[in-house]
Structure 1
Amino acid sequence: MADTTEEDAASDNRAMTSPPRKASWRFIGPGIVVAATGVGAGDLVATLIAGSKFGYTLLWAAVIGCLVKISLAEATGRWHLATGRTMFDGWRSLGAWTSVYFGIYVVVWGFIYGATAMSSTALPLAALFPDTPGGLKTFAIAAGLIGLALVWFNRYARFEKLMTVLIGIKFLIVVYVAARVAPDLPAALAGLVPVLPDGSLFYTLGLIGGVGGTITMAAYGYWINSKGWTDSSWMKMMRLDNRVAYLTTGVFVVAMLIIGAELLHASNIALAGGDKGLLELSNVLEERFGVFTAKLFLVGFCATSFSALVGVWHGVSLLFADFTERIVRTRKGIEENAVEEVAKGRRERSWPFRAYMLWLTFPPMGLLWLDQPFGLVMAYGVLGAFFMPFLALTLIWLLNSSRTPREWRNGWVSNGMLAAAGLLFVVLCVQQVRDLPW
């Protein structure tokens, strides 16, 4: 896990110097990273509760959610490969307001997310090892420090392998549990027909909007560049990588919906909101299937939360590093190819990259001793609610303009999907703001 030289890092990140003749699943990687990062404990809970309340009725919404996120990730990757410019470089071309918004958002979001991710990873560990001194706080601090070390001392290639292992663990465990509860296949197939039961509108929108990722959607382009994919010759490979990622995500989410429908809906069992609902599910699993299945689910819960933590520590730090480096170098009059800088691993060794990791790790630890600070949580909720509309709508702007080569601009399908995503996230944004405890 030792640090690497610039030449070693570039070699690690550029495992392939040219695209394969035919896109193959053997070469995928960034999609696995975005899938492992994007589906966290919050997504598990939202899907589980949707299944517990409405059975299989909203299965169609989970499928649409995957299609929406495929279109967003594809657009992000296409921008990086078609233009040779990073996502932040594209935002800057739209005006200084994007830098102001992103700078405020990423600082506030990182502070709250750091505490949330550490606590979420700690919950299943505290349940597995209840006699550990310090309990939840000990595991939360350990999760943050381990995540920091894993990203600090490794480069993208090894980070990708770690994320592949973590998503493999959580995927196999959740699918295994779904198989244990014996899904009702006719009911599941009926759930593919769009239906809106009474009281299900915002559960439906949340299910569509929450299937895998928020700010990590913007990080996808940086991960494909870190893989060594830097121009349009990699477009077919990127698109296959993206589809595999959200197929994996889709199976994962459907498995959680099955668990909610069969284990909870059929038995009229209600879970608490938030990550603690997953702890309650482990108790239900223990009563139904025994200690082994319950403990195994807690391991999957831990892998889910920790993969999201590590992915954000790496991906959002890359975004922040690009944000900072581009501003500093522009003011100094230094020209650079940001995509090449990412591909060579230089952003991963920059001081802004490591400074943001430290910001994600240490200041949020103070929140572990506090009950939710009202003002900060409110600011986080408002800023966070606006990010996905910001991403969807700026992608429409960028990919329909002269900033993008004509052959790679949006077609009507891409525009339709991104516009639908933008509208969906605006509605969710308004609802989240309305639900804040003003």
Structure 2
Amino acid sequence: MTPPNRPQAEPRWSLVGPGLVVAATGVGAADLIATTVAGSKYGYALLWAVVAGCIMKIVLVEGAGRYSLATGNTIFEGWSTLGKWTSWYFGPYIVIWGFVYGAAAMAGTGLALTSLMPFLGVPAWGILSGLLGLALVWSGRYDLFERVLTAMVILMFIAMVLAAAATLPNLGEVLTGLAPMIPDGAMINVLSVAGGVGGTITLAAYGYWLREKGWDSPRFMSVMRIDNAVAYLVTGLFVVATLIVGAELLYSAGIAIGGGDQGMVDLSRVLGERYGPWLSKLFLIGFFAASFSSLIGVWNGVSLMFADFMGHVQGKPHAHPDRLAGGRYYRAYIVWLTIPPMAMLFLGQPVLLILAYGVLGALFMPFMSVTLLWILNTDRVPAEWRNKPLTNILLVICTLAFAALAVDQLRSSIMRLF
């Protein structure tokens, strides 16, 4: 705490802040494949959806950050003022989501490393990745976590931008994709591209990372907004690069790739055949960086959210150690993300668990946008920091878009069961 007779330091203006952390954590291999597939199907026609997705995520993350800075409360404390129903939704969601995501994150990272170094299989590399993530975030040191994630972001960006540059994109055609249009049958692709830019539950972790960074009062509001906008500008450029790869490399040649993480391996193979093995290897390094950055981001950020949730429902004070990084609930959730899901790397994915994960997960983005609309327009926030009309309009658009995507995800989850 700053002594009373010493002026507080000015906010440290940095382009590498919690915004880049939340954006990079949210961009995993599945999002890259969704964008690449969209490029392979429709060329540049959905480029505008990438821009729309960045704007939506900027609005949502800014809202979460504004609430935290304006009130000094965490986002879960804000949700809890809306009624106990938020805890009844969030509690099961974060537990089920963590188990399934832990397996998916380790499998994705393991697949990337197996493609680069095939002397170990996906389960072994996945387990090693999960344990490394556990070790990196166990202490709760934000500065170490941020440095590692920044290195991963640099690798991601270099790999994808070089892959896009190698395809020699036609800039004129790229620009035509900024005109909003929805090709026949492309609505779900539009929603997937827009919704996949920069994360889901990790958006809500932004306020926690602001606190870890030391940005904890309204005087940091301006730097938070710049941090958030710059982060999603970088993320947008990164996702645009993936769309270019899909449009130039796959769309023009009529090449199809697999879904999920395997699609990234397929894409690296196509790059290697077209431009040489060096680009294939570089792309796989970028694939690993995207997967591992998401892994460690969740291992840290969602564990902070779980610790806050557990401490709050037990009535512990806001700054109680159990609700902070390095506390027992924080570490318990890291273990939950890492150890039990290892079994799924060998035993497959239980259908009912995947169904519950799909249902609860599909509802999260509409949940977040609706609750932000509710919280940020009431006296839960000081008047000067409440929503302006444009923000409300954009949040309503976010709600409608994510509700439509949720309906499709729910339909897909139920179809898996039958």
| TM-score for both structures, normalised by structure 1 | 0.91
Q: Match of 1:3?
A: none
Q: Match of 1:276?
A: 262
Answer yes or no: is 1:51 the counterpart of 2:28. Answer: no
Matches within 5 A, 1:77-226: 77-132=65-120, 135-226=121-212
Contact 1:28/1:237 (CA < 8 Å) preserved in 2? Answer: no
Q: Match of 2:279?
A: 293
Contact 2:18/2:213 (CA < 8 Å) preserved in 1? Answer: yes
Question: In the aligned structure 2, how far is the partner of 1:124 from the partner of 1:99?
Answer: 36
Identical positions, percent: 53
Answer yes or no: is 1:227 the counterpart of 2:213. Answer: yes
Q: Match of 2:51?
A: 63
Query: Cα distance, 1:27 vs. partner?
Result: 5.5
Question: In the aligned structure 1, how far is the partner of 2:251 from the partner of 2:323?
Answer: 50
Contact 2:45/2:177 (CA < 8 Å) preserved in 1? Answer: yes
Q: Match of 2:10?
A: 19
Question: In the aligned structure 1, how far is the partner of 2:389 from the partner of 2:172?
Answer: 35
Whichever residue aligns with residue 265 of structure 2, its letter is: L
Q: Match of 1:4?
A: none
Unaligned residue ranges in structure 2 (runs of 5+): none
Question: In the aligned structure 2, how far is the partner of 1:253 from the partner of 1:372?
Answer: 29
Question: In the aligned structure 1, how far is the partner of 2:54 from the partner of 2:353?
Answer: 31
Question: In the aligned structure 2, how far is the partner of 1:370 from the partner of 1:163?
Answer: 30
Query: Cα distance, 1:242 vs. partner?
Result: 0.1
Determine helix, strand or coil for the equivalent of 1:117: helix
Question: In the aligned structure 2, how far is the partner of 1:162 from the partner of 1:362?
Answer: 22
Answer yes or no: is 1:324 the counterpart of 2:297. Answer: no
Determine helix, strand or coil for the equivalent of 1:363: coil
Q: Match of 1:243?
A: 229
Deviations 1:215-256 (A, max 9, x none): 000000110111111110000000000001100110000000
Structure 1 runs (4+) deviating above 4 angstroms are none
Determine helix, strand or coil for the equivalent of 1:229: coil
Query: Cα distance, 1:370 vs. partner?
Result: 1.7
Query: Cα distance, 1:18 vs. partner?
Result: 3.5
Contact 1:17/1:228 (CA < 8 Å) preserved in 2? Answer: no
Question: In the aligned structure 1, how far is the partner of 2:126 from the partner of 2:303?
Answer: 20
Query: Cα distance, 1:57 vs. partner?
Result: 0.6
Query: Cα distance, 1:154 vs. partner?
Result: 4.9
Q: 1:356 to 1:414 in 2, by over 3 A?
A: same
Query: Cα distance, 1:38 vs. partner?
Result: 0.8
Q: Match of 1:73?
A: 61
Contact 1:44/1:253 (CA < 8 Å) preserved in 2? Answer: yes
Question: In the aligned structure 1, how far is the partner of 2:89 from the partner of 2:392?
Answer: 24
Whichever residue aligns with residue 336 of structure 2, its letter is: W
Q: How many residues align?
A: 411
Matches within 5 A, 1:316-395: 316-328=302-314, 330=315, 336-338=317-319, 347-395=324-372
Contact 1:38/1:216 (CA < 8 Å) preserved in 2? Answer: yes
Contact 1:80/1:86 (CA < 8 Å) preserved in 2? Answer: yes
Query: Cα distance, 1:180 vs. partner?
Result: 0.7
Contact 1:19/1:237 (CA < 8 Å) preserved in 2? Answer: no
Contact 2:63/2:372 (CA < 8 Å) preserved in 1? Answer: yes
Q: CA RMSD in A?
A: 1.6
Q: Match of 2:240?
A: 254
Query: Cα distance, 1:84 vs. partner?
Result: 1.1
Question: In the aligned structure 2, how far is the partner of 1:426 from the partner of 1:35?
Answer: 21
Deviations 1:71-96 (A, max 9, x none): 00000000000111110000111111
Answer yes or no: is 1:399 the counterpart of 2:404. Answer: no
